[in-house]
Chains A and B, each alone.
Chain A
Amino acid sequence: MLAFIVRRALQAIGVLLAVGIIAFAMFRFAGDPVNQIVSIDTPAAEREQVRRSLGLDDPVPVQMARYLVRTAQGDFGVSYQFRQPVSDLLAERMPATLELALCATIFATVFGVLMGVYSGLKRDSVLAKVFQTISLIGISLPTFLIGILLIYLFAVTLGWLPSYGRGDTVQLGWWSTGLLTGSGLKALIMPSITLGLFQMTLIMRIVRAEMLEVLRTDYIKFARARGLTTRAIHFGHALKNTLVPVITIVGLQFGSVIAFAIITETVFQWPGMGLLFVQAVQNVDIPIMAAYLMLVALIFVAINLAVDILYTVVDPRLRTTIRQPT
């Protein structure tokens, strides 16, 4: 199992390296970094000096190596827009995005699994058909439309929930959390639903399909022949076997949730990394774009690795080491 994890870790580093090279290419070749620093009427000699001080006259491989080393140390350069280190900007925005992504994932998982199990067990019932319809709409409606719809209903018309921002936050060291205040929690509701809806329909569809598949297996038939209660069969045997792919999806999708937060954060003016990224794209702030790309890649890779490891915990067949009898 160790060999398996090491191999996966090496693959992960390979992916990060590839993304790092792309980020470097963006940084170095998409627009001239010198132009972002000096003003338009700066004389050529001074430009040359800036260029040299940035190390831009070194051979490209040297620059790339330097970039990658700096990136690995968490130094992503200085934002063109804000004239601040990108790492500071990201660190400041990260808690908002991670809390939103976490709440969205919890929402999506809880409701997705419940709806999926129900429509798997009672697939001809009216409610199951309703769920199927919801899932089709969830996939067809663009995220920002769902957000706008929710805002119109619950913020504009009913006035129950805030339409933008995080509400009050509490500072825990460098981490600012909205989970500890009433207004912070209220502010989380609509963005979480908006962000989680797509994942919820995805999880529901997968759980339903897996449930139908598992219920057809021999061991479920055998469990019934052993006279186990329906409850034990459905929720002990079938659900546990269904959860393996669900864990994979929830895990792998967590990265997507963070990336999709770009849209949700824009709709709800949520002060997270996604909003920062959209502003960076609008203003062609390459250091932020490159850093965000690296960060998302890192999160994706870390999650992939975690899911692989989690897999072996849930499914004993994947554990190659035989446990000692106790």
Chain B
Amino acid sequence: MSVLHPVLSVRDLRVEFVTRRGILKAIDGISFDIAKGEVLGVVGESGAGKSVTGSAVIGLIDPPGRIAGGEIHLSGMRIDNLPPEEMRRVRGKRIGMIFQDPLTSLNPLYRVSEQLIETIRTHTNLSASAARKRAIDLLAEVGIPAPDKRIDSYPHEFSGGMRQRVVIALALCAEPELIIADEPTTALDVSVQAQIISLLKRLGREHGTAIMLVTHDMGVIAETADRVAVMYAGRIAEIGPVRDVVQNPLHPYAKGLMGAIPSLENDSSERLVQIPGSMPRLSAIPPGCPFNPRCPNVFDRCRVERPDPIQHSEHRVACHLYDQSPVRSEAVA
């Protein structure tokens, strides 16, 4: 290992929600890294903990939720235990965030210029006029035509796709090292989705920004991400290079997930697989492997012992099937 730190390093992160009925483990010990310029896709069903992971990294877990353990490092600096005011300075400056719905992410009562300049001036020492100039440049960079004219419009005067570009510009205000994009395309038209994704890819490439792309859309992941983490019930089931995981998933859940998307590259004679059942609620996660009630390859050990992530070729997979004896043929069965 070199001294070069990954942009984001998450170690054994746990997030809990304290409710009247007890403590719900929303995130239960996950670890991953994102390198400079890398796009990590995070996939899973809703409730798997994808968005909570993003919120935890940017320090926006609200009570009754709390980070219960683990560490988060940003370029080598631990950020999960920062005092609130210091964490606020990290947000927006070193970590940018993009939310799902551009229609509701922007304050309707303020002009786009006001929201951009406010953000820029919060994190830099730029004068008002310099900040305005930077705001126009940012809008141009995210592909808003005639930005010097459009900048003083109100959010409702933009289309959905244009608004998401504004949101991205807002996330880029202070040249962050990491961008967390939480379902950035879900609320958009299909035709606009591709534009936003290519914009994100281009920005990441040009600025060397690390991107954590949270989505349930495997198509978006396959197209954009360098690596992918498959989450299930608050844990990472499998993480690895996107091509490997998509084409050759190891974890039975990942297999099901990949099987559920039609592929042009693979042999199309295979039937689309459907995973029976549904993900357990946080209040009713089974002991052992959380996937065991739905797993086609389940055996006794899965029902009692929680699988730890195991390095397997370039993947890390949390499944007892791959423990010690790499019986790949058996797994594929």
Contact = CB atoms under 8 A, between A and B. Distances in A.
A and B touch in the complex (CB under 8 A): yes
Interface of A: 217-219, 221-230, 232, 236-237, 240-241, 244, 314-317, 322, 325-326
Given A221-B60, A227-B93, 11 more contacts: A218-B104, A219-B105, A225-B60, A225-B97, A225-B99, A226-B96, A226-B119, A227-B123, A237-B110, A316-B109, A317-B156
A226 B89 CA distance: 9
Contacts of B108: 219, 241, 315-317
Contacts of A326: 152
Interface string B177-220: 00000000000000000000000000000000000000000000
Contacts of A236: 118
Nearest to A226: B92
Contacts of A241: 107-109
B175 interface: no
B305 interface: no
B135 interface: no
Contacts of A225: 58, 60, 91-92, 96-97, 99, 171
Contacts of A237: 107, 110
B236 interface: no
Given A219-B107, A317-B154, A226 B122 contact: yes
B149 interface: yes
A226 B110 CA distance: 15
A218, A232, A236, A322: most-surrounded residue (chain B CB, <10 A): A218
Interface in B80-97: 88-93, 96-97
A311 to B, nearest CB: 12
A325 B109 contact: no
B101 interface: yes
Contact of B118 (A217, A222, A232): A232
Nearest to B58: A225
A262 to B, nearest CB: 37
B93, B110, B152, B171: most-surrounded residue (chain A CB, <10 A): B110
Contacts of A317: 108, 154, 156
A244 B108 CA distance: 12
Contacts of A224: 60, 88, 91
Given A217-B104, A222-B97, A228-B122, A316 B92 contact: no
A314 B154 CA distance: 12
Contacts of B97: 222, 225-226
